[in-house]
Amino acid sequence: MTLPTFLWPTFLWLLVLPPLLVLAYLWLLRRRKKAVVSYGNFVLIKQAAERGPAWRRHIPPILLLLALTLMLLAAARPVTTLTLPLNKQTIILAMDVSGSMRAKDVEPNRLVAAQNAAKAFLTDLPRDVRVGIVAFAGTAQVAQLPTLSREDLVAAIDALQLQRGTATGNAIAVSLATLFPDDGIDVSQMQWGQPSRARPLGESAQEKPKKEREPVAPGSYTSAAIIMLTDGQRTTGIDPLEAAKMAADRGVRIYTVGVGTVAGETIGFEGWSMRVRLDEDTLKQIAHRTAGEYFYAGTAADLKKVYEKLSSRMAVEKRETEVSALFALAAALFATLGAALSVAWFGRIA
């Protein structure tokens, strides 16, 4: 929780009232003391002393003064940043299914470890968070549209099949197209290295283009996020950094998870071999550009810990919230306590 700001700061001028009331209270005490001494009524002084310590009579006024101060602050409508449970969110799991995911440096192999970690991630998520799955290798496709059904998601994860190529940029673009179906994002029309909309054959130059979405601050869209897991560098498809810019302009965070070795290794399968290397620099840039975060998972245990951390982050969010009601509640509690003590000690509220 941060220090509050105020929607109606002009009301803060009313905070001059509590100090004035303190001065008025001190003046009344002094005047009362002079009146008692001038009358010489020692019987009243003795009765007052028998009621309890002298400091008691100051407690109720102090509590009422605190209540008034809090009510004045509430009138100014304070706002602060709080960590609160998410109401509605959609998460896209973009999972690499390229051939390098059969490597066994992560036991039992990278793909199975990723599948197990993803399923554990779904178990830890709140049940009201919708999740979709995008599988990518040389191309990217939606394996499961966003849904609340964990059974459908687990079935989609178990059905993932290995393919050739690694198109990380396409994975981001397809994930965004799933989150924003009305934006007209068409990966098939994007040129190599740049996710710009190319005009299909037969489309007239006079046709009205789709309305461009106004860019927002990176990470400002809290209703969706993309978690991308990959073990290799891009070998085909659109530029992942340009695709990341599309996500940043929509305020969508991308959390990237790197699996495998940075140095790379040669993997052989059915008579062919390929050199695979984890492109950490690009994954870090993608996360940074979208106000997300990069995680490295060198083992199955590391991967599980990464997903556990992500599941906890996906359950809550920090957002600016008006807390006038909290100030008003505190004011009511102080006022009630002050009145109760006054009645208990002196038999009257004032």
Same domain, 11 and 141: no
Same domain, 120 and 172: yes
Q: Which of 59-73, 194-208, 295-309 has the lowest mean pLDDT?
A: 194-208
Same domain, 64 and 161: no
Same domain, 22 and 156: no
Q: What is the pLDDT of residue 59?
A: 86
Residue 202 lies in a domain: no
How many Å apart are CA 235 and CA 192, to the nearest integer?
A: 11
How sure is the predictor about 194, in pLDDT bands with cuts at 50, 70 and 90? very low
Same domain, 144 and 189: yes
Q: Percentage of residues in the chain with pLDDT exceeding 90?
A: 29
pTM: 0.64
Same domain, 90 and 18: no
92-100: average pLDDT: 91
- Segment holding 135, helix H or strand E: strand 130-136
Residue 305 lies in a domain: no
Q: Percentage of residues in the chain with pLDDT exceeding 70?
A: 77
- Segment holding 99, helix H or strand E: none
Same domain, 159 and 269: yes
Residue 208 lies in a domain: no
Average pLDDT, the chain: 80
Whether the pLDDT of residue 39 is over 60: the answer is no
List, for residues 101-138, the tens digit of each pLDDT value. Answer: 888 878 888 899 899 999 988 888 888 889 999 999 98
Residue 115 lies in a domain: yes
List, for residues 143-162, the tens digit of each pLDDT value. Answer: 999 999 999 999 999 999 99
Q: Does the bond joining 108 to the residue before it have cis omega, within 30 degrees of 0?
A: yes
Same domain, 177 and 254: yes
Q: Where is pLDDT greater, at 83 or 155?
A: 155
Residue 182 lies in a domain: yes
Same domain, 265 and 330: no
Q: What is the pLDDT of residue 240?
A: 93
Same domain, 19 and 159: no
How many Å apart are CA 174 and CA 171, to the nearest integer?
A: 5
List, for residues 165-186, the tens digit of each pLDDT value. Answer: 889 999 999 999 999 998 888 7
Query: Please, are residues 252 and 226 in contact by the beta-carbon 8 Å criterion?
Result: yes
Same domain, 265 and 176: yes
DSSP 217-237: -TT--TTEEEEEEESS---SS
Number of domains in the chain: 2
Measure the CA angle with vertex 134, ends 132 and 137; round to 5°.
170
281-290: average pLDDT: 94
Residue 313 lies in a domain: no
Whether the pLDDT of residue 261 is over 80: the answer is no
Q: Which of 25-29, 45-49, 191-195 has the lowest mean pLDDT?
A: 191-195
Q: What is the pLDDT of residue 199?
A: 40
How many Å apart are CA 227 and CA 134, to the nearest integer?
A: 10
Angle, in degrees to the nearest 10, between helices 150-158 and 110-124: 180
Residue 148 lies in a domain: yes
Residue 304 lies in a domain: no
How many Å apart are CA 256 and CA 239, to the nearest integer?
A: 16
Same domain, 129 and 247: yes
Domain membership of residue 27 as a residue range: 5-82+322-346
**Domain of residue 141, CATH code:** 3.40.50.410
